[in-house]
Amino acid sequence: MTSARQGEQPVIYMDNNATTRVAPEVLAAMLPYFSDLYGNPSSMHKFGGQVGRQVAAARGQVAELIGAQPEELIFTSCGTESDSTAILAALQANPEKRHIVTTRVEHPAVKNLCEHLDRLTGHKHRVTQLPVDREGMLDLEQYEAALADDTAVVSVMWANNETGVIFPVEEMARIAKSRGILFHTDAVQAVGKIPINLAESAIDFLSISGHKLHAPKGIGVLYVRKGAPFAPLIIGGHQEKGRRGGTENVAAIIGLGQACELAAGRMEEENSRVRALRDKLEQGLLAQIPSSLLNGHPQKRLPNTTNISFEYVEGEAILLHLDQYGICASSGSACTSGSLEPSHVMRAMGVPFTAAHGSVRLSLSVYNTEAEVDFVVEKLPGIIAKLREMSPFWQSSHQGAVGGASCPCSCS
């Protein structure tokens, strides 16, 4: 298998929560649908019909991975579309109910939609964003107390993209159901990484995105429990039983089916070999770099994700230095957006200012090797030491002259 390069350098890709490589098996399964098999799955002729049968087979592969029935799945264009469709469908089903319960640490796909519904539509909807504790966990008593008579829908992510923290969504869905409230979960980071069995859950809606599990970008799935109320977001043709208009993205659907089958077969490896690599990486960095701390619950976490804060340095500067070695990672500080604010997830967790700015997320996949982990553990301590030498905040905090409350972020 060829590996990605930038210039002469091999890429060490540890940003799998942002997107993943398309698995070679997935690409191979997709290719015929860009050449010979170009029929429309809705056509009456055999040429299109054979494509329709393969789309049905792919739906079965996705259903198998999450314990759903194929009819409960709707193909969409992405995770974001699935999230919007689910939440808006739930609200439409209960026009007299105006309350939404979600969390402070949702992906923007859910967070910004809920804030939009709250603020920009003239406060037609009321949104409760549940807080998290220092380890990124929710308090279930606080959750129960937040549910009101006019709560239409709860939307809580299965696993957090920045920290990997896993929420007890199955239990939360049972509680919602007992109160007659619909439950949606953004499971984009969870699907393919941890076992999911919807046959035994009270979850009404669940979102999936292809490009987070080695399928291509631009394909998503929304699971809608049989019997749950539904209203389409995109109205058009009869595709997806009238639940999502638009000719199917056939090649991507075939690819997603293949990716789900692969993921089912690799779940064991993800939770043993990938987890061990993540732990080696995390322990190596925490042991070698002073004033570093783990963000997120140490156990209740995805097997592939670690998020570590290096105090008194700026995440973006760390990323630029890692990039020089071809190492791809992400940061929880949002200087790219022009704001000096750390991410909403770090803020919700109450990560101290000096640490929130220096948070780095490393997210692995089955394609990572031990040699790559060793390389990162070898290079990162030197990067942090160098940045700290240049940091007035590190200097002052280590000469007892703390006090300057201005931002340590070096970007403007």
Ligand X SMILES: *Cc1c(COP(=O)(O)O)cnc(C)c1O
Tell me which residues touch ligand X (CB under 6 A).
78-80, 107, 109, 157, 161, 186, 188-189, 209, 211-212, 220
The smaller minimum CB distance to ligand X, of residues 154 and 384, is found at 154
The smaller minimum CB distance to ligand X, of residues 113 and 380, is found at 113
The smaller minimum CB distance to ligand X, of residues 61 and 80, is found at 80
* 300 Cβ contact partners less than 8 Å away, ≥ 6 residues apart: 137, 165, 166
The span from the CA of 211 to the CA of 188, in Å, is: 9
Q: Residue 196: name the closest of 364, 64, 365, 73 by CA.
A: 64
The smaller minimum CB distance to ligand X, of residues 107 and 278, is found at 107
Apex 277 CA angle, 15 and 357, nearest 5: 45
Tell me which of 335, 407, 409, 411 is the catalytic residue: 335
Residue with tokens 């939609």: 113
Helical packing angle, 79-93 and 108-115, nearest 10°: 40
Structure tokens at 387: 């940045």
Min CB(281)–ligand X separation in Å: 20
CA-based torsion, 79, 85, 88, 89: positive or negative: negative
The smaller minimum CB distance to ligand X, of residues 51 and 259, is found at 259
Neighbours of 92 (CB within 10 A): 14
Helical packing angle, 250-269 and 46-66, nearest 10°: 30
Min CB(304)–ligand X separation in Å: 12
Min CB(287)–ligand X separation in Å: 29
* 130 Cβ contact partners less than 8 Å away, ≥ 6 residues apart: 101, 102, 103, 104, 138, 139, 142, 143, 146, 156
| Known active-site residue 335 | yes
Give the burial class of 197: count Cβ atoms within 10 A of its Cβ; 0-12 exposed, 13-18 middle, 19 or more buried: exposed
Min CB(193)–ligand X separation in Å: 11
The smaller minimum CB distance to ligand X, of residues 129 and 354, is found at 129
Instruction: Point out the residue whose Cβ comes nearest to ligand X.
Output: 79
Min CB(108)–ligand X separation in Å: 8
Min CB(152)–ligand X separation in Å: 21
State the catalytic residues. 335
